[in-house]
Structures are given as structure tokens and as C-alpha cells.
Amino acid sequence: MENQLTTIGSATRDIFLIPKKVLVINNEKNLACQKLMAFEYGAKEAVEYLSFHAGGTAVNVAVGLERQGIQTAALCAVGEDESGKAVLETLEKEGVDTALVKIVPGGRTDRSLIILDKMTGERTAFVNKSAGQELEIECSSIDSEAIFVSSLKYDWEEKFKELEKCAATFHKRLFFTPGTTQVKAGMDKMAGFLEQVEVILLNEDEAIELTRQKVKVNMRKMMADICSHGPKTVVVTSGEKGVYVYNSREFFHVPSKRIKIKDATGAGDAFVSGFLATYLRRGSLKIAAENGVRNAVSVITHIGTLEGLLRK
């Protein structure tokens, strides 16, 4: 079966850790960093739970799409180590095409330490990039009609030029979630690339920072600003408040529901895979957003980024 979409981005080995106690500090005056997680300096903290999982946006979204019936390839880089083997085994077990996964000789797979607050399910992640720096993108190797890209850090501007060519010359449909590096760089740095993006998907904090807001503004106005830089459709997730969708023809909100969050990690990737699976199959933004919410809600009731992903 021919691949329908290729995910491009990070592949990691995630370590999930739940301390017995976490201090959360309010920092509301900073819209881009409204809460801080803290521990006693120099102390030893007891840990209730520790486990290892495959993760990274390219992996999470690829697995989510496969479970929703979309044949997917993953374009990412892993090391020639046990962590890399574990990531590849996970992808292959889920039916993801791994032909484009680069195995870096002697390299170490990217790793993340994710500290969870058991009271809220929110987390802080410490990310170590290694093999991911060796990621390479070549349009001629991508056979799918659609591409989803996120989490590019090293030489990202050159990679975005190649992806711009993929869309403009090879007529690939381009879907995009900006990583921290792109959010900090700003939309002007991505001008040509954004003009090729069919749908940009991001959370509210990323939207605020991307549009350089200093005070809270109207959601529609903020999304219109992003849309004016090129993307045909803007999708913004806002936690338990739900999801907002905007393009030149419509603006609407899809509510979520209040549930007990076990682990918020991977909620964004789960939303993306649920959204894209339905959007590629049916073309409806509203139904796609609803399916994205369902997928994200399921994931945050489990620990890890893959465990709660819904199947078709």
C-alpha cells in the first residue's frame, strides 16, 4: 500500500518520571511562561514512577496515523544504540514505513526526561539532541502525497527551503507544527515556507509567542495574523477549552471536556494525528478537529505518548 503521509521530525527515547511532590510557582505576568515547576535545591526527591517509551513528534504522529488507518512513513534519525533499536521496533510493530529512518553509525538516539506533576498531569521535559542533528530531507525520496513536519532544530532554514520545494515543485500537501526554534525565530523567517503550508497546528502558548503578543488578544485576531503570513488554515489547541479553527472562510470552536489528566505529554501530537487522519480522509475541518480532540483526550488518560492513541 502506498504511503499517504510522511512525518518529519524528532524520534526520541523518553524517560517518564513522577516525583512524590512538585512545587508549582505561578508566573502569570509572563504570557509565554505562566507557571514554573520547582524542587528543593540540593535535595533528594522520592520518585513514585519511572518508565521508558518511544517518542518524538515524528514517531508519535506516525503511530497515531497508522492506528487511524492512514499508511504512514517516518523520516527521522536515530542512533546505532539500544534506544534507536527500541524506536525502530515500535514503528515497525505499528506498521509505520521505516525506509526513510536514518540510523547514524555510532550515534546516540535523542532522549527526553519528562517530569510529571501527578496532581495535574502537566509536565516539564528536558531534551537531549544527538542523532537528530543528522536528519536529512530530500524531496525525491518522499513518495507520499502529504508531509507533516515539526521539531526541526539544526539547519532548519535549509530544510525548510527543501520542504518549500517539495510543496511548490513536487506538489506535496504540507502540514506543519512549529518547534520551539521556529516559534522563537518568528514568521518572517519562514515566509516562503509558510506560504506553502495547507494547515498549521499549534497550541495557544505557541500562537501567542509566534505573534509576539504582550497582552492577551482576541483569538480570532491572533489566528488571522498567522493566516496572513501564508497558511491556508490555522488550528490552535487550548487545553480543556478545546480547539479553534480559522481560515479565510470560517472561524469556529470545538469544545473539549474536563477529565482527570494522568499525563499531558503527547496531547498535541495525538491531536495532530487524529485531526490529519480525518482531514485527509474526509476534508472536513470540523469533523477533523473533533476527532483530534477525542484522540488527545484518550492519550492524556495514560502515561506515555502512544498508549492511549485511538484506533480506527
Q: Where are the domains positioned within the chain?
A: 5-299
User: Looking at residue 151, what is its pLDDT?
Assistant: 78
Q: The whole model's pTM is what?
A: 0.90
**Angstrom distances, CA of residue 103 to CA of 70, 75, 143, 293:** 24, 11, 20, 33
Dihedral sign, Cα of residue 202, residue 198, residue 230, residue 132: positive
Residue 262's pLDDT band (cuts 50, 70, 90):
confident
pLDDT of residue 103 exceeding 90: yes
Q: Distance of CA 245 to CAs 156, 161, 187, 203, 250, Å?
A: 27, 27, 19, 12, 8
Give the model's pLDDT for residue 258. 80
Percentage of the chain beyond pLDDT 90 is 70
Phi, psi of 188 (to 5 degrees): -60, -30
- Residues 177 and 53: their CA atoms lie apart, in Å, by 22
What is the predicted pLDDT for the residue at 92?
97
**CA–CA gap between residue 229 and residue 185 (Å, rounded):** 14
Comparison of pLDDT for 266 and 160, the residue scoring more: 160
Q: pLDDT tens across 19-47, in order?
A: 988 888 888 888 778 888 888 888 898 88
Q: Output the pLDDT for position 21.
A: 86
- pLDDT attached to residue 40: 86
More confident residue, 291 or 264: 291
Q: In this predicted structure, what is the pLDDT of residue 64?
A: 97
Using the 8-state DSSP alphabet, how is residue 30 labeled? -
Query: Distance between CA atoms of 116 and 124, rounded to whole angstroms?
Result: 7
Per residue in 198-245, pLDDT tens?
999 999 989 999 999 877 778 999 999 999 999 999 999 998 899 999
Instruction: Answer yes or no: is pLDDT of 137 > 80.
Output: yes
Q: Between 151 and 290, whose confidence is greater?
A: 290
- For the ranges 73-77, 114-118, 252-256, the lowest mean pLDDT is seen at 114-118
Binned at pLDDT 50, 70 and 90, residue 1 comes out as: low
Helices (H), the chain: 57-67, 82-93, 156-168, 180-185, 191-194, 204-210, 219-227, 267-282, 285-299
Q: What is the pLDDT of residues 51-99, one digit of tens each?
A: 899 999 999 999 999 999 999 999 999 999 999 999 999 999 999 999 9
**Quick one: fold of 5-299?**
UDP-N-acetylmuramoyl-L-alanine:D-glutamate ligase (3.40.1190)
Q: Which pLDDT does position 252 carry in this prediction? A: 97
- Burial track 124-144 (b if 16+ CB lie within 10 A, e otherwise): eeebebbbbeebebeeeebeb
Give per-residue burial for 23-51: e unless 16+ CB within 10 Å, then b: eeeeeeeeeeeeeeeeeeeeeeeeeeeee
What is the pLDDT, as a whole number, of residue 129? Answer: 87
